[in-house]
Amino acid sequence: MSKVLKFVLNGMPVKVVAEPQETLLQVLREKLSLTSPKCGCNHGDCGSCTVILNGKAVKSCMIIALTVEGKSVVTVDGLGTDGKLHPVQQAFHEYGAPQCGYCTPGMVMAATAFLNENPNPSYDEVKDALAGNLCRCGGYQKYVDAVMAVAKGEFGPIPKGSDVDV
Amino acid sequence: MFKSVGKRVPRFDGIGHVTGKTVYPSDLSMPGMLVCKTLRSPYHCTRIHFIDTTEAEKVPGVYSVITHKDVPHNLFSMVPDHHVLAEDIARYKGQNIVAVAAVDKSTALKALSKVKIEMEELPYVIDPVEAMKEDAPKVRPEGNLRVFDDVDTVRRIRRGDVEKGFAEADYIVEGEYWTPNQEHAPIETTASLAYLDGNGKLVIHSKTQGLYFTLGDLSNVFQLPLNKLKMVGATIGGAFGGQNSIHTDHIAGVLALKTGKPVKFHLTREEEMMYTTIRSAWRFKIKDGIKKDGKITARYVDVLEDCGAYTELGLYALEKNVNYIGGANKIENLAIDGRLVYTNKMPSGSMRGFGVNIGQYAEQVQTDKLARKIGISPFEIRLNNAFKEGDENHVGNPLVAVSGIETLQKVAKMAGVELPKEYQEMSSK
Amino acid sequence: MREYFYEAPESLDELLGLLQGLNDEEVKLLAGGTDFVPKLSKELDEIPKEQKPPLHIIYMGNTGNNEIKEDSDNVYIGALVTLTEIEESNLIKQHLPVLIQAMEETAGHTVRNVATIGGNIMNASPAADSITPLLVLDAQFVLAGIDGSRTIAAKDFFTGPGSTVIDDKEVLTTIIIKKGKGKAAFKKLGRRKAETLSVVNAAAYIEMDNGICKAARLALGAVAPTAVRCYQTESKLVGKPVKPELIKEICSGVVEEINPIDDIRATAWYRKQVAPVMLERAINQACSEE
């Protein structure tokens, strides 16, 4: 029995018909044609579907879409301002962290949500924050180094999130 | 001095990756696109007596249900012995038997549940050593050992006289080494999108690593001239060798031809891990003769590759393996026997090193064993036997730009190992 | 295809009322969903074997019970509090730091951000990381029903993998934990450091007086059909001076109280080897913090 789902996606209100059994990932990819959250396992293991839900990084394949009613979802498409990359994106790019790039949107979201809450993390805290995101190419070192560089301010201040209410 | 060496160079496609704008094959969709799902063999070895798809075709939203009879030419892969859809026997668990194209996933799965299929589980063999025995269940009609060049089940490399070399040795050192199967596990699972363009050309967006190799293979499967088939490659979410084999392109293509509509076949994580090609498992038995001064006088290697149920790229991996298993050592007396055995597992594909590095694992561990036997360092044993400029390799090719000795010297330095003077002064020249 | 229905009641009463009306249907109470949703997705990827009855998914996220509170004796954790909220709670840090230890080792951040303590309990996995600490903290679970609520001790709650004493018209609302005098510790052995399920986990609560163990509650997870309290081992510890050698010796006997199985994460044999070690480590830590 499908229902109308209203939530805020990257700062814009959206309205979409969703089935009870559909995940947030499915709705984003298949109904809203937003393919930046990737489907690597559909089982909550790989983290490539990570998005920010009400300020917290979550795996969108583990969320029933209808439960995000009235909430705010940010994908990697919602980052960056005035044509400029978000510091996390810039750092990942300059550090050469992505290889095939399939895990990257999820990594960006996990790292961004983490830095919003922990602007001065230790190296081990960053590793812990990204532990739910698998990179089969083996770019972990560069991802962690890049997040540390952002925390040290190498890529400028982190802009405030674009969360708005419905 | 260098423009790029030692410096950070952003990837040419890095911006697309960090902004999520890179489009991967699994991201693609088209208006009116159908979804493909397949019925797979539930057993390691299955005899298929009878398939009736009538009820499946009646499910509303189903456009096509195909079996091997619908595939123009049912054989594919580098050694074309793998069936697009299984015929009378499915030889590994998860082999595709029936494929459906329907409006959505749940409709496709419902249709598959309506396929009437009469199957029988046959005896199977999983262990490569068991598979070589006379009374082992037959994986393939021609036998479980591959016959090379229609004459022999052993791929042989011969150089000098190993018996003479063993007689000259002070010690004989033997070792047996096994490596397991390994899944490539790319984060993006395999996906294909196939459709007919406005002029009837079949277009396939593919995750393939070998676009033109796949093109040739598929034009045979579809029995289409090359000007009627277009393969579109893409940035892909990891392959690691696994996309040198075809997993979804063939079936998506046949269904697109059947229905005239775009068809997407996207594997689940479970399908990717359990039913696509893998790195084969190997066994190496090495017997070396060595003198007290550290010179290898003879080496015999017995190579066994567990190829799975179809040859796929296993033959290519074995050919490469036997060429390199002797190692970067100048060995005058060398004999290598390579065998390729079929078992009821998913077929062997290429993976990172294509049979070469997997042999080097065994060879390097064995070389350390030799060093321990005569009480010299792992560096010295390798330096003693290293190839030099102009040497012939084990299969008779002259070697150029050899730098094995210099590399080892540098490694020793980096590891903080001080080599004896005569080793420091050695050169590949 | 199976039919799915979705409801998101706005209060506990509405939720309990809904449950009264669903008598022959299958119902799934959804909290964070981190266990249920992957299972659902797997089911939806498989060729259906039979026609399954409709499933009513009832989302509990809007029904309250999402706060951590205290009074002079107890800490009250709402069933819908997420694992991250527990991890970040000052109240928990002050009174029940063992829960933070356990949360930090459960799955990863992205899962803990949605997974709830109530969900982890109701899932009733023998390997759940929150259950062993709750057992040694002697937690009480408040179950609300249409005619009022009842309280069940954690130690009497679990009956098997995935099953508990709860009635299908009841809902877990609150976890009550007494502020104890002793200290507790949690130790987990997984196959990896992060994002992993327990091969064995252990929790210990110890009250000490002048180097003598006054009270002890011990629990092991992933070694039996439910997480288990280790009563015999507890009784061996009480009244004894807590010395490392003695703890080691007492813990070695815990294999008599467990009944592990072989599964994809480890063999029963291995679990029997490591369970005493994990328990010993938990006890040592609970003692050393005095």
ipTM: 0.95
Integer-rounded Cα radius of gyration of chain C: 20
Angstroms from A75 CA to nearest CA on chain B: 9
Average pLDDT, chain C: 95
Angstroms from A127 CA to nearest CA on chain C: 10
User: Which of C45, C47, C48 lies nearest to residue B39, judging by beta carbons?
Assistant: C47
Can you tell me the distance from the alpha carbon of C235 to that of C213, in angstroms, rounded to the nearest whole number? 10
- Could you tell me if C48 lies within 8 Å of chain B, comparing CB atoms? yes
The CATH architecture one would assign to domain B155-181+278-385 is 2-Layer Sandwich (3.30)
Domain boundaries, chain A: 3-76, 87-151
Of the candidates A60, A27, A22, A21, the residue with the CA atom closest to the CA atom of residue C26: A21
Which one of C39, C40, C45 makes the best mutation probe of the B interface by having the most chain B beta carbons within 10 Å? C45
Residues of B in contact with C42 (CB under 8 A): 270
Can you tell me the distance from the alpha carbon of C65 to that of C63, in angstroms, rounded to the nearest whole number? 7
Full DSSP string of A42-79: SSSSS-TTEEEETTEEEEGGGSBGGGGTT-EEE-GGG-
Inter-chain CB proximity C59 and A64 less than 8 Å = yes
Assigned token pair, B153: 């089940």
CB count, 10 Å around CB of B180? 10
Task: Name the neighbours of B, counting chains with at least 3 Cβ pairs within 8 A.
Answer: A, C
Can you tell me the distance from the alpha carbon of A133 to that of A135, in angstroms, rounded to the nearest whole number? 7
- Could you tell me if B165 lies within 8 Å of chain A, comparing CB atoms? no
Can you tell me the distance from the alpha carbon of A24 to that of A62, in angstroms, rounded to the nearest whole number? 8
For A110, nearest residue in chain C (alpha carbons): C110
- Could you tell me if A63 lies within 8 Å of chain C, comparing CB atoms? yes
pLDDT digits over B148-180, tens only?
Answer: 999 999 999 999 999 999 999 999 999 999 999
- Could you tell me if B105 lies within 8 Å of chain C, comparing CB atoms? yes
Per-residue pLDDT 10s for chain A (166 aa) are: 899 999 999 999 999 999 999 999 999 999 999 999 999 999 999 999 999 999 999 999 999 999 999 999 999 999 988 889 999 999 999 999 999 999 999 999 999 999 999 999 999 999 999 999 999 999 999 999 999 999 999 999 988 754 433 3
Can you tell me the distance from the alpha carbon of B378 to that of C71, in angstroms, rounded to the nearest whole number? 68
One CATH from 3.40.50.620, 3.40.50.1820, 3.90.1170.50, 3.30.70.260 for B25-122+190-266: 3.90.1170.50
Side-chain-facing half-sphere of B280: CA atoms under 13 Å: 36
Inter-chain CB proximity A61 and C37 less than 8 Å = yes
Number of A:C CB contacts under 8 A? 92
Inter-chain CB proximity A44 and C37 less than 8 Å = yes
The number of residues making up chain C comes to: 290
Q: Please tell me the predicted confidence (pLDDT) of residue A162.
A: 46
B155-159 and B334-342 as β-strands: parallel, antiparallel, unpaired?
antiparallel
Can you tell me the distance from the alpha carbon of B307 to that of B71, in angstroms, rounded to the nearest whole number? 25
Residues of A in contact with B8 (CB under 8 A): 94-96
User: Which of A57, A128, A133 lies nearest to residue C113, judging by beta carbons?
Assistant: A57
More confident residue, C264 or B255: B255
Contact C40, A21 (CB under 8 A): yes
- Could you tell me if B7 lies within 8 Å of chain A, comparing CB atoms? no
Angstroms from A100 CA to nearest CA on chain C: 22
Which one of B55, B96, B97, B106 makes the best mutation probe of the C interface by having the most chain C beta carbons within 10 Å? B106
Angstroms from C76 CA to nearest CA on chain A: 24
The DSSP code for B345 is S
Q: Report the amino acid identity of residue B157.
A: I
Contact C182, C201 (CB under 8 A): no
Residues of B in contact with C49 (CB under 8 A): 113
Diameter of chain A measured on Cα atoms: 50
Contact A59, C110 (CB under 8 A): yes
Q: What angle do CA C37, C38, C41 make, to 5 degrees?
A: 85
The DSSP code for B114 is T
Inter-chain CB proximity B270 and C45 less than 8 Å = yes
User: Which of B15, B29, B238 lies nearest to residue A102, judging by beta carbons?
Assistant: B238
Give the mean pLDDT of B301-309: 98
Residue B8 confidence (pLDDT) above 70: yes
Alpha helices in chain C (DSSP H): 12-21, 36-44, 83-88, 90-95, 97-104, 109-112, 117-123, 131-136, 231-237, 244-252, 268-288
Which DSSP helix (H) or strand (E) runs through C215? strand C212-221
Inter-chain CB proximity A128 and C114 less than 8 Å = no
pLDDT digits over C244-279, tens only?
Answer: 999 999 999 999 999 999 999 999 999 999 999 999
Assigned token pair, B330: 């100048």
Can you tell me the distance from the alpha carbon of B63 to that of B56, in angstroms, rounded to the nearest whole number? 10
Which one of C35, C85, C87, C109 makes the best mutation probe of the A interface by having the most chain A beta carbons within 10 Å? C109
Alpha helices in B84-147 (DSSP H): 105-113, 128-131
Give the mean pLDDT of B283-305: 97
Q: Considering chain C, what percentage of its residues have pLDDT values greater than 90?
A: 93
Split at pLDDT 50, 70, 90, the class of C44 is very high
Split at pLDDT 50, 70, 90, the class of C289 is low
- Could you tell me if B25 lies within 8 Å of chain A, comparing CB atoms? no
User: Which of C42, C45, C48 lies nearest to residue B110, judging by beta carbons?
Assistant: C48
Contact C78, C70 (CB under 8 A): no
Residue C25 confidence (pLDDT) above 90: no
Residues of C in contact with A107 (CB under 8 A): none
Buried b or exposed e, range B266-289, using 16+ CB within 10 angstroms: bbbbbbbbbbbbbbbbbbbbbbbb
Split at pLDDT 50, 70, 90, the class of C24 is confident
Which one of A41, A73, A140, A154 makes the best mutation probe of the B interface by having the most chain B beta carbons within 10 Å? A41
In B42-134 the beta strands, taken as DSSP E runs, fall at 46-52, 62-66, 75-76, 82-83, 89-90, 96-102, 116-121
Split at pLDDT 50, 70, 90, the class of B4 is confident
Assigned token pair, B423: 């080793």
Inter-chain CB proximity B105 and C48 less than 8 Å = no
Inter-chain CB proximity A23 and C37 less than 8 Å = yes
Which DSSP helix (H) or strand (E) runs through A145? helix A140-151
Q: Is the dihedral of CA C32, C35, C39, C41 positive or negative?
A: positive
Domain boundaries, chain B: 25-122+190-266, 155-181+278-385
Residues of C in contact with B113 (CB under 8 A): 47-49
Phi, psi angles (nearest 5°) of residue B268 = -75, 165
Q: Which of residues 155-194 of B touch C (CB under 8 A)?
A: none
Residues of B in contact with A95 (CB under 8 A): 8
Task: Name the neighbours of C, counting chains with at least 3 Cβ pairs within 8 A.
Answer: A, B
- CATH fold of the domain at A3-76: Ubiquitin-like (UB roll) (3.10.20)
Residue B425 confidence (pLDDT) above 80: yes
Inter-chain CB proximity B269 and A42 less than 8 Å = yes
Can you tell me the distance from the alpha carbon of C220 to that of C282, in angstroms, rounded to the nearest whole number? 10
Angstroms from C210 CA to nearest CA on chain A: 37
pLDDT digits over B342-380, tens only?
Answer: 999 999 999 999 999 999 999 999 999 999 999 999 999
Assigned token pair, B427: 């050169």
Split at pLDDT 50, 70, 90, the class of C58 is very high
Number of A:B CB contacts under 8 A? 105
Q: Please tell me the predicted confidence (pLDDT) of residue A161.
A: 57
Give the mean pLDDT of B66-85: 97
Look up the CATH number of domain A87-151.
1.10.150.120
Angstroms from C42 CA to nearest CA on chain B: 9
Inter-chain CB proximity C6 and A64 less than 8 Å = yes
Can you tell me the distance from the alpha carbon of C206 to that of C185, in angstroms, rounded to the nearest whole number? 9
Give the mean pLDDT of B86-96: 98
Angstroms from B233 CA to nearest CA on chain A: 14
